[in-house]
Amino acid sequence: MPTTAGIFEDPIEPRELGHAEIVPVGEFEAGSYQTFTLTYTCGYFGIDDSGSLRVVFRFAADQTRPQFDDPKGPNYTTVVASNNAVLEYRYDPKGNIRPWDRTLYVKVVRGFMKKGDTITITFGDTSQGSPGMRLQTFCEDTFEFRVLVDPIATYNYQQLPVQPMIELIPGPVDHWVAVCPTSRNVGDAFRLSIKAEDKWGNPTNQADRTLTLRSSRPVNGLPERIRFPAGEFAYHVEGLSVDEPGDVDIELLDDSGAVLCSANALRIVEKADLRPYWGDMHGQSEETIGTNSARQYFEFARDRAFVDVAGHQGNDFQITKDFWSTLSELTAEFDEPGNFVTLPGYEWSGNTALGGDRNVYYMTDDRPIRRSSHALVDDKSDIDTDCNTAADLFESLREADENVVCFAHCGGRYADVKLAHDGIVERSMEVHSSWGTFEWLVHDAFGMGYRVGIVGNSDGHKGRPGASYPGAAHFGAIGGLTCLLMPELTRPAVFDCLRKRHHYATTGGRLVMDVRAGFDEAGTLYHENPDLGPADGRPATEAMMGDIVHLPSGGVTLTMDVLASAPIERLDIFNGLDHVETIRPYGIDELGDRIRIIWEGAEYRGRFRQVIWDGTATFEGARIERHGTINFFNRDKTIDRIGDDTLRWRALTTGNLGGFDAWITDADGGKLKLDTPLVKLDLPLSDVGYDDHVSDAGGLGRRVRVFRLPEDNPHRAMRLERPIDLKDGGDNPLFVRVTQEDGHLAWSSPIYVYR
């Protein structure tokens, strides 16, 4: 009988399907160029005239695509039948059922094949000059060349019982990463975690060296030197503490004294009731559309990304009963209060017209799953629990009185919060993930008068939650993180934090951000939205991010305190949809001959939002002394200098931003000539100054900005106050966005002040 995918149950015994082998086998460096020969040997039925086979790869896989026309190009692929049958072949990135949708399709179009005949596919045939097949850029224990066969020409494909596979391992050390808490109280114990990553962001066990540790302030227990042993993926320095308040910078140095990396910003305070903990609460494993197992997913988040909180969010229409049970067991097993917190849950993956993607998190394990559909789940015995629309989901969760929190998310499907939203259940908008940056999602919420927080997560598919790099695929950004401000690291504290919106989001960087509102006269502070039902309020003259305050009269002063992990480019203050002010940590008199060009935005809200920014910039009448890139994550996307005055690049955005800096000389009377597919500029360099020169390119926030920076910007900290004019009617959602020079952004959850 047919399955949900419209394919009949296996008509042929697996042993009669034939078999496939791949040469060579074993371990291979992720992202390296290789050549593989896959040989399919026909089984009892052979392959009839117009029968076919598919070699399929996971959705997340980002190896070079098979191509058949350029023998010198990457992944030149040849396909040959041993009996000289005529074959037709093509590559289709959506040619099979997800998650195995990247498909090489081979069809017998003249002749037929019998038992023992072979089809030989050479991926990355180097015989005519191809560099080979560039492998997937992230590690995987079981990277499959999955083969499906339609021997009887019925278009009913069956998987071979044994699949060819290889193992992808990390490459040599490219850079170092050091992670510590972003803030702790005087005397609090903390640890410093260190890892080495290869050029694609995979933690690598190929480091074997002695490192020197240097701190800007005395740190109790910090050794002067450590040995990072070969074979290990991480090294932890435990039991550290600081005796005096202040900001601490910790650096890793090599034997020559050169700085290998700096740890993230660390602030020691006299006493704070809430401490920052970092989480990536959104990603998937191979049981749905991701890579590597769910167990490996949680292990990576804890042991190699060094996050404090993690959640697994598989697409609901692909979560079977057995896997849902396994997830519940795993979240219970890995949840360790005080050390690592896991959140049970799933991604409700309804079609856009029915509400779009939402993330569902439970306080306790063993809760029911309410799917958007059973699209890839054959067992229909619980289909009556499905909630096909986001409104149905919220109503069901409310009626069941579940201890639950939801986020609105933009992935393949974007959340339409104008269509459906429940302020009791849905507490935040996810403004950044590996898919890109989506400030418009929180703008939609403001436009509807919702009171929501702001989170960032990865929605990673590459098995690297908490450190999710885009690799070479269509994911255009590093995965985001959420900083949760809590008194302790426990699951109840996480849920209390999420409900109160006491958190801020980043594009993956870790920084200190404290945003508060002070009031001339006492207002009434709420954690629950009083517009949605009874809520307890208390008198207050100050509020933190996420709070809701009724302020009948009197003024508001916004206090912002930021310690970034890189120099700060700017800080923007917003009152909901209104931009209040841009504040830079440097003055006009500090500007130098460093020109920054930024491109940003998306094509539209949907799945194919990618914007290509390939182009050139010529500084006529000037000389480029040096240049540096911003958010060039994909190693295939490069920027090159041509002569003394021109840069040429390949780049893309998916709602996020990218660009470059150029340090120029002899610029008097010079011009900038910029040529991209969407923006062309002929701009005198004398017109490039402190404020942005903006060229709008339509779409969804597509634009190019050009401005000038100091030669060297030392400003990593900003402490400032601003009086805020309130609107008399409706909410004043006061929040801050910080932009670091390295391209990382951070958003505070809004403080909602209303008259």
Do residues 681 and 742 share a domain? no
Do residues 73 and 27 share a domain? yes
Phi, psi of 661 (to 5 degrees): -110, 140
pLDDT at 3 (0 to 100)? 40
- CB atoms near residue 459 (< 10 Å): 28
Give the CA distances from residue 730 to residues 411, 452, 502, 754, in Å, rounded to whole numbers and listed in that order: 31, 15, 22, 6
The enclosing H or E element of 1 equals none
Q: Residue for token digits 């709420």? A: 526
Report if residue 8 sits inside a domain.
no
Measured CA to CA, the distance from residue 91 to residue 104 in angstroms comes to: 5
Do residues 366 and 460 share a domain? yes
Which of 138, 169, 200 represents a domain boundary (last residue)?
Answer: 169
Rg of the chain over CA atoms, in angstroms? 27
**What is the secondary structure of 351-393 as a DSSP string?**
-GGGT--EEEEESSSSPPP--S--TT----TTGGG---SHHHH
Do residues 573 and 617 share a domain? no
Which of 272, 292, 318 represents a domain boundary (last residue)?
Answer: 272
Do residues 34 and 47 share a domain? yes
pLDDT at 474 (0 to 100)? 66
Report if residue 4 sits inside a domain.
no
CATH number, domain containing residue 92? 2.60.40
Report if residue 7 sits inside a domain.
no
500-524: b (≥16 Cβ within 10 Å) or e: bbbbbbbbbbbbbbbbbbebeeebb
Measured CA to CA, the distance from residue 419 to residue 392 in angstroms comes to: 12
Measured CA to CA, the distance from residue 105 to residue 463 in angstroms comes to: 27
pLDDT at 666 (0 to 100)? 80
Q: Mark the ranges of the chain whose per-residue pLDDT is less than 50.
A: 1-7
C-alpha neighbours within 13 Å on the C-beta side of residue 247: 14
Report if residue 669 sits inside a domain.
yes
Measured CA to CA, the distance from residue 542 to residue 519 in angstroms comes to: 6
Do residues 388 and 370 share a domain? yes
Measured CA to CA, the distance from residue 474 to residue 163 in angstroms comes to: 27
Measured CA to CA, the distance from residue 650 to residue 664 in angstroms comes to: 21
Does residue 99 have a cis bond before it (omega within 30 degrees)?
A: yes
CB neighbour list of residue 608: distance below 8 Å, 6 or more residues apart? none
- Pairing between strand 556-563 and 548-550? unpaired
Do residues 520 and 634 share a domain? no
Beta bridge partners of 642: 646
**Which of these, 637, 641, 661, lies nearest to 651 by C-alpha position?**
637
Report if residue 9 sits inside a domain.
no
- CB atoms near residue 699 (< 10 Å): 15
* Residue 720 DSSP SS3: strand
pLDDT at 668 (0 to 100)? 77
Measured CA to CA, the distance from residue 465 to residue 468 in angstroms comes to: 6
CATH number, domain containing residue 229? 2.60.40.10
Give the CA distances from residue 393 to residues 402, 426, 633, 748, in Å, rounded to whole numbers and listed in that order: 11, 11, 36, 28
Do residues 459 and 347 share a domain? yes
**Which of these, 334, 361, 323, lies nearest to 345 by C-alpha position?**
361
Do residues 569 and 427 share a domain? no
pLDDT at 640 (0 to 100)? 95
Measured CA to CA, the distance from residue 412 to residue 208 in angstroms comes to: 41
- CB atoms near residue 383 (< 10 Å): 11
The enclosing H or E element of 477 equals none
Measured CA to CA, the distance from residue 190 to residue 275 in angstroms comes to: 12
Do residues 352 and 432 share a domain? yes
Measured CA to CA, the distance from residue 301 to residue 464 in angstroms comes to: 7
Question: Could you tell me the strand order of the sheet in which 639-642 lies?
Answer: 639-642, 646-649, 615-620, 671-675, 680-684
- Pairing between strand 165-169 and 27-29? parallel
Measured CA to CA, the distance from residue 62 to residue 461 in angstroms comes to: 11
**Which of these, 720, 333, 696, lies nearest to 562 by C-alpha position?**
720
The enclosing H or E element of 662 equals strand 657-665
Measured CA to CA, the distance from residue 614 to residue 675 in angstroms comes to: 9
The answer to whether 451 and 458 are in contact (CB under 8 A) is: no
Measured CA to CA, the distance from residue 351 to residue 324 in angstroms comes to: 21
Number of domains in the chain: 5
Phi, psi of 393 (to 5 degrees): -60, -50
**What is the secondary structure of 33-46 as a DSSP string?**
EE-EEEEEEE-TT-
Do residues 325 and 381 share a domain? yes
Do residues 451 and 390 share a domain? yes
Q: Tell me the residue range of the domain where 630 lies.
A: 590-710
Report if residue 324 sits inside a domain.
yes
The enclosing H or E element of 459 equals none
CATH number, domain containing residue 289? 3.20.20.140
The enclosing H or E element of 75 equals none
Report if residue 5 sits inside a domain.
no
- Pairing between strand 671-675 and 118-123? unpaired
Measured CA to CA, the distance from residue 388 to residue 317 in angstroms comes to: 11
On the 0-12 / 13-18 / 19+ scale of CB atoms within 10 A, 736 is buried
Measured CA to CA, the distance from residue 2 to residue 5 in angstroms comes to: 8
The answer to whether 144 and 102 are in contact (CB under 8 A) is: no
* Residue 246 DSSP SS3: strand
Which of 114, 140, 169 represents a domain boundary (last residue)?
Answer: 169
Report if residue 2 sits inside a domain.
no
